[in-house]
Amino acid sequence: MAKKGTAAADLRIQTGDELGDSLVKLKKEQFNLRFQRANGQLENTSRMRVVRREIARIQTVLGEQHRKSGK
């Protein structure tokens, strides 16, 4: 089974704008997953965990880029 997530090394290659777009997309997906869970329609519960961790990875890389540009 292939890993579908995004590694942090792959994220560091992307620009800030690309990361921002990915972050917005993942936040929307996270909202939809929360909505499905509240309505009892969520079938793949593990996707919530994957999305949450991908959001954290992107935010971490954005913070690194921000700190690097500030020095």
Domains defined for the chain, CATH in brackets: 9-70 (1.10.287.310)
Distance CA 20, CA 40 (A): 30
Q: What is the pTM of this model?
A: 0.86
Contact 19, 61 (CB under 8 A): yes
Q: How confident is the model at residue 1 (pLDDT cuts 50, 70, 90)?
A: very low
Query: How confident is the model over 4-56, as pLDDT tens digits?
Result: 666 888 999 999 999 999 999 999 999 999 999 999 999 999 999 999 999 99
Distant-in-sequence, close-in-space partners of 42: CB < 8 Å, separation ≥ 6: 33, 36, 48
